[in-house]
Amino acid sequence: TILHIHGGAFSSGNGSDFLAMGAAIALAADARVVLAEYRLAPEHAYPAGPDDCFSIYQGLLDLDVDPLKLCISGDSAGATLVLLTMISARKSGLPLPAAASILSPWVDLSMSSDTYVSVKDPMATRESLQPYLEGYLKGRNATDPAVSPCFADLAGLPPLLIQVGSEEVFVGEAEELADRAAAAGVKTTLDIAEGMPHIWHLFASFLPEAKDAIQRIAVFFKEHVR
């Protein structure tokens, strides 16, 4: 079983938007994919989204999904929700998933990376993301590890696959996350896809690089389930 948590700047999107990508991952990994639905900002600010995702993860365990055969993935803001879900599970003493993949991760909500300036991303900028962030955080400090898992204690988390495109502003924090996770003892793989935009996985029906990325996720998960 793979639990996938969608992105959307914590404020938009739903699982249905990711049916095609979820199906592609399911077929490649020979797995059941569960698409998470969670409350969205600004109507439901932090911590509603993280709380919902953790409840979904708990629910899968309550349904007797074997954690040794359970993986978790998320894209963009969903990457933050994946990491916070696993950190909450660790804190609560629940079994962690066998592996996790995060795609085009927005995991430093302070947006401190130089790549917000150096990368000319047509889909996201620091300025365009700021209103969504304000609606989600409602004044909470964006450097708080409880909201920005890039700064959290990552020790004890399962093997982590990070995929990011070279043409997105998030590439800098993806690299920082990989460094921090590896330093914490997490088995970490960072894939930087040359020339790819934000969540290029969505274009797997016609883009070879997207098909390759999804296949890489499937292989990674199969390597770690038992």
**Per residue in 10-48, pLDDT tens?**
999 998 899 999 999 999 999 999 999 999 999 999 999
What secondary structure letter does DSSP report for 71? Answer: E
Q: How far are the Cα atoms of 194, 195, 201, 215 from residue 209, in angstroms, in the given order?
A: 9, 10, 8, 10
Quick check: 153 pLDDT over 90?
A: yes
CA 207 to the chain's CA centroid: 21
The predicted pLDDT at position 121 comes to 94
**In degrees rounded to 5, what are phi and psi of residue 74?**
-165, 150
- 188-224 CB burial, b ≥16 within 10 A, e <16: bbbbebeebbbbbbbbbeeeebbbebbebbbebbeeb
**Which residues participate in catalysis according to the annotation?**
76, 168, 198
Query: What order do you get walking across the sheet with 188-193 strand by strand?
Result: 33-35, 2-5, 71-75, 99-103, 160-165, 188-193
In contact, 49 and 81? CB cutoff 8 Å: yes
- In the chain, the amino acid numbered 43 is E
pLDDT digits (tens, 9 = 90+) for 93-136: 999 999 999 999 999 999 999 999 999 998 999 999 999 999 99
pLDDT at 125: 95
pLDDT tens digits, 163-215: 999 999 999 999 999 999 999 999 999 999 999 999 999 999 999 999 999 99
pTM above 0.85, yes or no: yes
pLDDT score at 201: 96
Peptide bond into 42 cis (omega under 30): yes
The string of pLDDT tens digits covering residues 51-83 is 999 999 999 999 999 999 999 999 999 999 999
* Interacting residues of 53 by C-beta distance below 8 A, sequence separation 6+: 5, 36, 38, 81, 82, 84, 85
Give the model's pLDDT for residue 1.
Answer: 98
